[in-house]
Amino acid sequence: MDQTISITALASVSPLGASPQAVWEAYKQGAHCLEERNFGEIKAWVAPISREIQREIDSLGASNPKYGKLDRTVLYALFTARKAVAQAGWNSKDNFGINMGSSRGATALFEKYHEEFIRKKRTSTLSSPTTTLGNISSWVAHDLQTKGPEISHSITCSTALHALLNGVAWIKSGMADKFLVGGSEAPLTPFTIAQIQALKIYAKGNGAYPCRALDLEKRENSMVLGEGAAVACLEKGSPKNALARIHGMGYATEPLESNTSISTDAVCFQQSMKMALGTLSPDEVDIIVMHAPGTVKGDSSEKMAIDKIFCNKLPFLTTNKWKIGHTFGASGLLSIELAIFMLRSQTCIPVPYVNNQNVPENIQKILVNAVGFGGNAVSILLSKSI
């Protein structure tokens, strides 16, 4: 990129934990965070945030009468945004921008209010304002007392990386020096689980790894839903506290052939990866953190796109969905978090059941992919901070 933009902080809450130390320790273990739970009459594998951390989220909700009315999607965003801003050393006088997104939004509250409407033929006063998508960024801005621009959006499972793209665009335009970007998702509800099961892509297996993301030999879909949020601080230049530099960005959208379509060789990913690489040789990419949702077509099409771009010299391939499930709109930035850990520790985090990969001796550049329904792909190329 013609202007250096750095990630100076990144905070998350996920099945891995809520602190950088806990998350990194969990990544170094070969165990997954999935468990079977009952959702009414439905039983499904999910990757939930721990009960201990949920109690912290409950405390946040109880800290302000208004917060107690908010969906967990918003509370997860508040929880992580506070940590990211503190880590970066920002304050309200910085007037930083905010772009927070979610694929599903206030899922639990929407289901609650809809059930109330069916039963009573009326609903609560707050049913509308607490379920709008703009609810996320507006409450984060309120909580952090920043007066910069606030944006919320949903671009399905590439939402968080689109937020990052937008934050970079604002900084490059000169309209902002700092931007808070991220995604938040709390989809572990009966209706959402039922929706994904209806697509016939949900995991049914009871093996050691119920989600077989990046297993290109699997014969059935194995997607599992997870929950969580991740928030990153973007700044112009290369501050001393930079965690990584955004070296390149790419995006592409495929014409829809069906509601969930992606081409056999993921043309959208081919285009987004090419754009992110720019003039850089593909040989210089050491690792790709794949979207790899655990579905047969989703995993194989992304791998075919990688084969076409990187030909005979494939980077080390990995994903985190076998471990924490698919967190929809938050997933892209949780993958960015994994990439930053690998860059800074010079350690590859493998998928336990994927073999025969060449581990790079020196990790300098990592490409992160995300895509959602409709083939809206984003690729972000990270490099070590200068």
Question: What confidence tens digit (pLDDT) does each residue in 274-303 have?
Answer: 999 999 999 999 999 999 999 999 999 999
Average pLDDT, the chain: 95
Element (H, E) at 97: strand 97-101
Q: What is the pLDDT of residue 260?
A: 59
Element (H, E) at 139: helix 135-144
Bigger pLDDT: 147 vs 83: 83
DSSP conformation letters of 202-226? B----SS-S--TT-TT-SS--B-EE
Q: What global pTM score does this model have?
A: 0.97
d(CA 98, CA 90): 13
d(CA 319, CA 326): 10
Taking CA atoms, 358 is separated from 19, 281, 315, 320, 337, in Å, by 30, 18, 8, 18, 22
d(CA 12, CA 29): 18
Q: Name the residue type at position 79.
A: F
Q: What is the pLDDT of residue 356?
A: 74
Range from 92-96, 134-138, 269-273 that averages highest in pLDDT: 269-273
pLDDT tens digits, one per residue of 141-197:
999 999 889 999 999 999 999 999 999 999 999 999 999 999 999 999 999 999 999
Judged on CB neighbours under 10 Å (0-12, 13-18, 19+), 304 is middle
What the chain holds in terms of domains, given with CATH numbers, is 5-236 (3.40.47.10), 245-383 (3.40.47.10)
pLDDT tens digits, one per residue of 207-223:
899 999 999 999 999 99
Cβ neighbours of residue 351 under 8 Å, at least 6 residues apart? Answer: 213, 214, 215, 317, 318, 319, 322
Give the pLDDT band of residue 110 (cuts 50, 70, 90): very high
Please name which of 295, 158, 328 lies closest in space to residue 226, comparing C-alpha atoms: 328
Q: What is the pLDDT of residue 258?
A: 63
pLDDT tens digits, one per residue of 42-54:
899 999 999 999 9
How many Å from the N-terminal Cα to the C-terminal Cα in the chain? Answer: 14
Q: What percent of the chain has pLDDT over 90?
A: 88
d(CA 267, CA 308): 10
In a 3-state reduction of DSSP, which class is residue 368?
Answer: strand
Q: φ, ψ for residue 52 (rounded to 5)?
A: -60, -45
> Tokens for 19?
């602190």
Residue 321 above 90 pLDDT? yes
Q: What is the pLDDT of residue 339?
A: 98
Give the pLDDT band of residue 312 (cuts 50, 70, 90): confident
> Tokens for 294?
């655990």
Mean pLDDT of 113-117: 95
